[in-house]
Amino acid sequence: MIVSVIGLGYIGLPTAAVLASNEIKVIGVDVNQQTIDTINSGRIHIIEPGLDVLVSEALKKGYLKAVIKPQKADVFMIAVPTPLGNGNKPDLSFVKSAAKAIAPVLEKGNLVILESTSPVGTTEKLTMWMRDERSDISFPEFGNNNFLADIAVAHCPERVLPGKVLRELIENNRIIGGISDNCARQAKDLYKIFVHADCLLTDSRTAELCKLVENSFRDVNIAFANELSLISDKLGVNVWNLIKLANQHPRVNILQPGPGVGGHCIAVDPWFISDSAPNESKLIQTARLVNDNKPNFVIDKINKSVKAIGKNRSDIKIVCLGLSFKPDIDDLRESPALEIALKIRLMGFSELMLVEPNISNIPSELKHESVCLSSFEKAIKASDIVVLLVDHTPFKSIDLNELSGKQIIDTRGTWS
């Protein structure tokens, strides 16, 4: 059997490598020649623990190769981006391009799986885009379980946590939604090769909504925690202590407030629901707005600290601890910490020190004569205002006496 993985990014490459490590021949396809060259030389272009070893082993043993144009295979797994376009509308252009690219090499008996997080109805659109190119073979029809088409099409959304991808690919239960029941069953046979957990079958629409709902559930729950942080601030209550106490209740489990919600999933996927059902998704939309507004609250706190110091900003040094979207990773995409640092940069402080142990260069958008990357100890000593934005492990072990006399804005409760 040959499996072709279309899109060799954060999901596609680990999936390709895991399949190859199960002695399945994998052809990885990507539109970026540099990505292909890197993989074919046994290296990787993303950071994910353990992935480099898996990829270089797979290459050495001949189970994995990367190419720019799809070739014939038995299974095609599509793991391309589905970003937010203008007006928070889903951009499905990469899925459409993938459909058009694989259509010419499709053969009777092939299975096509969409892994990308997608709005409801995308797997049906994918089927339609392929059908438009290939009138000589038959494709399944949603809800028609009596028709055995030449090609099977299913949606199996990825659900892995960055940083734990290789483990979660194998250990997480999978939701598999077929265009028809037969498609779902065929897809399950593939996942059972490497998934050691349950593969639960449903239809493609349910699987699409299921993935969006999982991330929206988390977004709404984080928004609740973020709202509590605003309420507590107004009422002079320590929100971290409040949540810890409330969580003593057997049926309460409040998440942690922060500077906002980042990453390319939780801050994006709820919009896919609100785009499809705008009038029915008020809570989901409000949660997005609450989370997106949290950086402004942090900026207000900084302004209050400036007032408390009683000097001009041009005489004040400020440090931002962390820039990534969550702890102990180097990923700055959609990071609220980065957004806050950018806002601070424009506030005219004498110096903005950035401490981000997981990167070695200042992001280009932050470059300015008043901005520098600094070590943790040095920045703490030199600063008047300390803004903790990401709870990276090294920040937890500070002697709290070193913070005395400084204005502290701890958005993660690390020192509370």
Catalytically active residues are 211, 265
Q: Does 212 bind ligand SAJ (CB under 6 A)?
A: no
CA-wise closest residue to 256 among 264, 268, 270, 246: 246
Q: Does 317 bind ligand SAJ (CB under 6 A)?
A: no
Residue 190 or 287 having the CB closest to ligand SAJ: 287
User: Residue 112 and residue 145: Cα distance in Å, rounded?
Assistant: 17
Amino acid symbol at 229: S
Residue 209 or 306 having the CB closest to ligand SAJ: 209
Q: Does 370 bind ligand SAJ (CB under 6 A)?
A: no
Instruction: Classify burial at 48, counting beta carbons within 10 Å of its beta carbon; exposed 0-12, middle 13-18, buried 19 or more.
Output: buried
Residues between 217 and 236 that touch ligand SAJ (CB under 6 A): 218, 222
Considering only 138, 232, 256, 370, the residue that binds ligand SAJ (CB under 6 A) is 256
Considering only 29, 160, 371, 387, the residue that binds ligand SAJ (CB under 6 A) is 160
Residue 152 or 222 having the CB closest to ligand SAJ: 222
Residue 33 or 247 having the CB closest to ligand SAJ: 247
**Which segment (133-141, 240-248, 253-261, 314-322) binds ligand SAJ by CB under 6 A?**
253-261
For residue 230, CA distances in Å to 237, 259, 269, 307, 396 come to 10, 11, 24, 20, 23
Q: Say if CB 156 and CB 188 are below 8 A apart.
A: no
**Which segment (16-24, 69-77, 212-220, 348-356) binds ligand SAJ by CB under 6 A?**
212-220
Q: Does 288 bind ligand SAJ (CB under 6 A)?
A: no
Counting residues that bind ligand SAJ (by CB under 6 A) gives 20
Residue 256 or 350 having the CB closest to ligand SAJ: 256
Considering only 161, 237, 252, 277, the residue that binds ligand SAJ (CB under 6 A) is 161
Minimum CB–partner distance for residue 359 and ligand SAJ (Å): 16
Residues that bind ligand SAJ (CB under 6 A): 117, 158-162, 214-215, 218, 222, 255-256, 258, 261-263, 265-266, 325-326
